[in-house]
Amino acid sequence: MDLFINLMDHYKNLYDNTALASLDNDILLTLNEGKFLNEGFSKTFQDNEFLFQYIVDQPKPCVDTVYRMWCMLGNDKQLEVYNVLIK
């Protein structure tokens, strides 16, 4: 949870009112190796159909859905995404 809170705080400082949508988008881009979902799917999504389906089913980001997606990543993937986004 601390990594997620740190990311949210970082994004609030950078993007203010659009912080949550920006964080949601950047997590997805990081998980999909910098590509938008309409350009294809990374191994992360191919290996985790449940995560992919969860993301597809979400109409727009809210704190609960972004945090649930974050939790589905597991510790190693969370740390990887955090390190990419916090730079």
Nearest to 53 by CA among 39, 64, 67, 37: 37
Q: Alpha-carbon torsion 20, 83, 31, 71, what sign?
A: negative
What is the predicted pLDDT for the residue at 84?
96
Q: pTM of the full predicted structure? A: 0.84
| Sign of the alpha-carbon torsion through 56, 51, 82, 61 | positive
Residue entry with tokens 């190796």: 33
Higher pLDDT, 47 or 13: 13
- Kindly list the domain boundaries of the chain, sorted by start residue: 2-86
Report which of 71, 59, 66 is spatially closest to residue 28, judged by C-alpha positions. Answer: 66
Average pLDDT over residues 45-62: 81
- Binning the chain into helix, strand and coil, the percentages to the nearest 5 are 80, 0, 20
Residue with tokens 């389906």: 53
- Please write the tens of the pLDDT for every residue from 60-73: 778 888 898 899 89
- pLDDT range class, residue 14, cuts 50, 70, 90: very high
